[in-house]
Amino acid sequence: MSDNNTQLISRKRHYFYVMLFSVFVFLALSLLASIFFPHYRDPYDVGKPYNINLLWFVPAGLFFGFLFGLVINRWMLVIYSKGPADEVPVSFAARAGRFIRGWRFPLYIVMIAGLYVIALSVKQRYYFSVSNHKIPGLDVRQSEEIRRWTLRYITQNPRPEYIIQLAELEYTDNDSWIRKYIKRAILKHDNKETVELLLKILLEDDDPRVRLYAARALFDFENRETMPVLFEAFKKEKDIETRRMIDACLSYVGNSSLTYPLVLELKNNEWDVVRSQAANLLCSFGNEDAVQPVLDAVQNDESENVRAWAGFSLKYFGYRNISVTVPVEPMLEILENGENEFNRMIAASALWRNKNPRVIEPLIYALENDKSKHVRFSAACSLHNIGGEKALKAIEKAIKNDPEQYVREAAEQYLRYAKEAEKEKRKQENKATGK
C-alpha cells in the first residue's frame, strides 16, 4: 500500500483507467460467451449462417463494462484512498487500465477479435467432426440453422465416416427438410471408399444399430458389386431388423447367380428366419432351379414361419413368367390352425390367385371368424381375386357385419373391383359373340 501512496493520480484519470479496464474485460468476456453460446441464422438460406449472438453479446459487454466500471471505480477508491482528496492512489484496476491505454487498447482488441475468429472456426469444424459415427452438427439438440448448414457442408464435402449418421437420420429424423435432402447427401457418398467402409462395418461392427444403418446406406447405393459381401452378412447376421435390411439390399442387387447358395441356406440353415428370407430371395430373382426347393419348403419345412413365408413368396415367380402354383393344403393348414397371426395373414394372401374350389370355404370362414382384422383383410383380398358368387356374397356380408371399419372399407373396395371385373368380362364375352 505504501507504493500506491507514492503514485497519485486525479480522480477523473483514475475513473478513466478503471472504466477502460472494465470495458476491455467485459468486451473480451462477451466475445468468449458468443463463442461458447452461438446462435446461428442463415437469412439468405445459402448455407452460410452467421453467429448473431455477437450482435447481442458485444452491446451487452459494453453496457456491463460501463456499469461495472462505476462500481469497480467506487470500490477501488474505498479500498485505496483514506478520504476525500483531489488525487488518489493508483489501484490495481487503474494500473491495468493505464497499461492497456493508448496504442495497446486497439492492439489487444484486434488480438481478441483474431482469437474470436480462430475459436469460431474451431467451433464450426467441431460441427463437421465425427466421433463414434456421430456428427455433432446434426444432433437434434442443435438449432435448425446449424443442422441444415452442417448437412449442406457434408453434401458438398463427402467423407466416408459421415455415412452412418446420414443413414440413421434418413429414417429417424423429425425434420422434413433434413429427411428430404439427406438422400442427396447419401448419394453424394456413393464411392468405392465409402462402400468398402460400409461392408466392413456390416461384417465386423459389434453394434447391431450401426450394422443396420450400414445396410440402409448400401440399400440406397444399389451397388451390384456389394452382392458377395451382402450374402456373407446375410448368412451370419443375428439381428432381425438388420437381416431384413440386408434381405432388401439383396433383392435389389442380387441375381440368379445366388440361386444355388440360397438353396443351400434354405435347406440347411438352422435359423428359420434365414430360411424364410432365403425362400423370399429365391422367388425374387432365382432361376427355375429355385422353384422345387421353395415348393419343398412350403410342404416340408419344420417351421410354420418358413412354410408360410415360402408359400407367400411363390407369387414372385409369376411376376417373372415362371409358372408355379402355390400348394393349397399347407397354406390352408396354416390359415385354419396357425397360432401366429402374421403367418395366417400371409397364408391367406398366398391363395389370392388360386382357383382351386377347395380354398373358397376356408377363406370365407377366415373372413367371418378370424379374430385378426389383418387376416380377415387378406381373406377378403384373396376372395375378390378368386371371384365367384360365394366369394362375393361373403364379401358383401363382411361389409355389413365386420366389426372393423378397416376391413369393411377394404371389402367394399374389393367388391367394387370384382363387380367392375365381372362387368368387363361380360362385355368382352358379348363382343366376342357379336351381341
pLDDT at position 107: 85
Grid coordinates 458438398 are at which residue? 156
Q: Which amino acid is at 333?
A: E
Strand partners for 88: 9
Asked whether the beta carbons of 347 and 338 are under 8 A apart, the reply is: yes
pLDDT at position 42: 61
pLDDT at position 46: 46
Helical (H) or strand (E) element with 388: none
Distance CA 238, CA 108 (A): 61
pLDDT at position 307: 94
**Residue 110 to residues 24, 34, 244, 382, Cα–Cα distance (Å):** 12, 16, 58, 78
3-state helix, strand, coil split of the chain in percent (to 5) is: 75, 5, 20
Q: What is the DSSP string of 145-210?
A: HHHHHHHHHHHHS--GGGHHHHHHHHHH---HHHHHHHHHHHHHT-SHHHHHHHHHHHHH-S-HHH
| Residue 314 backbone phi and psi in degrees, to 5 | -55, -25
pLDDT at position 41: 67
pLDDT in 10s for each residue of the chain, 435 residues: 444 445 788 888 889 999 989 988 998 888 888 877 777 666 545 456 667 777 888 888 889 999 998 998 888 888 887 777 778 888 888 888 888 887 877 888 788 888 877 877 787 788 889 988 899 988 888 878 788 888 888 888 899 999 999 998 888 888 888 888 888 889 888 889 999 999 999 999 989 889 999 998 988 888 888 888 988 898 888 888 898 899 888 888 888 888 899 999 999 988 888 899 899 888 888 788 888 999 999 999 999 999 999 999 887 776 666 778 889 999 999 999 998 999 999 999 998 878 788 899 999 999 999 999 999 999 999 998 888 889 889 999 999 999 999 999 999 998 888 888 778 877 887 777 765
pLDDT at position 1: 44
Domain annotation for the chain: domains and CATH numbers = 2-128 (no CATH), 325-435 (1.25.10.10)
pLDDT at position 4: 44
| Residue 14 backbone phi and psi in degrees, to 5 | -60, -45
Asked whether the beta carbons of 249 and 215 are under 8 A apart, the reply is: yes
| Lookup: cell for 395 | 364379401
If phi > 0 it is left, if psi is from -120 to 50 it is alpha, else beta; for residue 244 that is alpha
